Amino acid sequence: LYMLSKRLFPYSNLFPRLRKYKFIVYFIICLTIIILALGVYLYSIPIVSPNQPQCDMVWMSPSYARIRAFDETHTKYASKYNLYLYREQDVDKMPNENENEDGNEGFTSLDGIPALFIHGNAGSFEQVRSIAARCSEMYYTDGKFKEKYPHARNIDFFTADFNEELSAFKGLRDQVEYVTQAISFIVDLYPQNPNRNIILIGHSMGGLVARIAASRQQHESNVDIILTLATPHSDPFPWLPKTSDFPDEVGLISIYLLVDLMVPPLVVTPKSKSDHFFSVDAAKLLGVPIDHQGIVWCGQLREKLSEALIGISGLNTLQDRMKVFKKIFSGDRKELGPTPIFGLAKLKLKLLQSWVHLLSLTIFALKWTIIVLAIIQLRKVYTKFNNPPPTH
């Protein structure tokens, strides 16, 4: 490094004033080369061992029935968003579409427990298929789960389509309004449901949509449990609506991932927790490295998620439902989690997940820059009006 910097230094003769800063020039050149070399080396290091067990692949036969009765007559966002009912082919009972008393299309054969899936930033409504398909298989074809959960009910999965909008930057308020209206509509499809409750499942930013919508539904008590997958609950984006006014009567389960680069663990805990809050690192629990998108389809995780949903489907109280989640996601393993991350691999992970701190620092700097500039301008105006120019 010294010889390289010495070879580069003769070019400083073009700027004679730099000669007296020879040591500083050497230092800057060496530091830049070291940082670049370290960056290249860190980029080549895998975060987790390539020998680590991977997520099991999953298969399903999905079909989606559009809920036109809601999209065309019950919401002003009909031309923007869509609502679908998921049906696993050859497993789920297909709904009967006919006209209800108002002359609108409706579904009259729904007899399960409603659940609404909300996808995340630029996501797809079809991401519900992995969990929904496994829940159908467990209830209709796997007898051991009926023995384990004798009060279980089948789950009707609805899914909202936001046309791959960027929830983190625009459209979140419209999505919240749409989901709020959808919750009321879906619950009305189940007049025999004594508690009139719906399960909300949100992936990434969809979890924030679910939380805000649940707070708006508080007076109707239509939501008593929310399951979120890799959701930034700590409100890292200051330009979005806050979720601090979350009702304590709603249970919140936060499934997150240690190695998630988009939603790191430091943003998955709400600043204001509800009385019924439970969180778990799925990658550590299951011993497989799961990424941000893989959390909705990873075979090992969907097995536990589906069992938990089937387990709570026949329960009426929030306390009983939370006990099921805590029991299923508090597994006892001899070796917890992926291969431990040490040294430079851990440093690389922390650097990649540091976008939250960089965002906070950037917003803090911009805020105070604007304040200082405003004070300077006000001072100039004050000086101008209190010291008028002399008249001749």
Q: How far apart are CA 369 and CA 377, in angstroms?
A: 12
Q: Is the pLDDT of residue 308 over 90?
A: yes
- Which SS3 state, helix, strand or coil, does residue 113 take? strand
Q: How far apart are CA 81 and CA 121, in angstroms?
A: 14
- Residue 145: which pLDDT band, with cuts at 50, 70 and 90? confident
Q: How far apart are CA 3 and CA 299, in angstroms?
A: 55
Q: What is the pLDDT of residue 96?
A: 65
Q: What is the pLDDT of residue 350?
A: 81
Q: Is the pLDDT of residue 237 over 80?
A: no
The DSSP 8-state label assigned to residue 341 in this structure reads P
Q: Is the pLDDT of residue 5 over 70?
A: no
Q: What is the pLDDT of residue 348?
A: 81
Tens-digit pLDDT profile for residues 334-372: 445 555 676 777 778 888 888 777 888 888 888 899 999
Q: Are 284 and 258 in contact (CB under 8 A)?
A: yes
For the segment 100-108, the average pLDDT, to the nearest whole number, is: 48
- Residue 220: which pLDDT band, with cuts at 50, 70 and 90? low
Token pair in block for residue 115: 């659940």
Catalytic residue among 136, 167, 204, 254: 204
Of the ranges 110-119, 236-245, 351-360, which one carries the lowest mean pLDDT score? 236-245
Q: Which residues, in sequence order, are CB contacts of 199 under 8 Å at separation 6+?
A: 113, 114, 115, 116, 155, 225, 226, 227, 309, 312
3-state secondary structure 279-335: EEEHHHHHCCCCCCCHHHCCHHHHHHHHHHHHHHHCCCCHHHHHHHHHHHCCCCCCC
Q: Which of 100-104, 131-135, 187-191, 217-221 has the highest mean pLDDT?
A: 131-135
β-strand pairing of 105-107 with 97-99: antiparallel
- Can you give the pTM of this predicted structure? 0.81
Mean pLDDT across the chain: 81
Q: What is the pLDDT of residue 353?
A: 80
Q: What is the pLDDT of residue 178?
A: 92
State yes or no: is 61 an active-site residue.
no
